[in-house]
Amino acid sequence: MEDIKDSDRESRALDKSKDKLKRDTEKVITAFFDQALDIGEVAIGDSERYKAFRRQVLRAGNDAIRDIKKFLDKDYQVLYIPSTEDVIEIQVPTVHPRKVARSS
């Protein structure tokens, strides 16, 4: 019975990990084609030609995202292992107004 629970837990963890990888991959690809569109808009200059270019870039980017998700679903088991984060505390030195007035 416990093996089944562990197996279900592992399966859910793998599914969550794969979903996280899909979201992260989609963010990276989307950021890439956003930058490509920004560059293309400046480089092309003509709004009609840019619209055609934009459609092609968006189609290619969205197709790439769908293809990667299909590959992940079909061929991969993914386990996300979060890295430990270093907490850096920044303290801003404060100067008391009375001390500033006295030194002037």
How much is the pLDDT for 11? 86
Mean pLDDT for 4-9 is 77
**Percent of the chain scoring above 70 in pLDDT:** 77
Distance CA 24, CA 80 (A): 11
What is the per-residue pLDDT across 31-65, written as a single tens digit (0 to 9) for each?
999 999 999 999 998 999 999 999 999 999 999 99
Domain ranges (residues) in the chain: 2-103
Nearest residue to 82 via CA among 10, 13, 32: 13
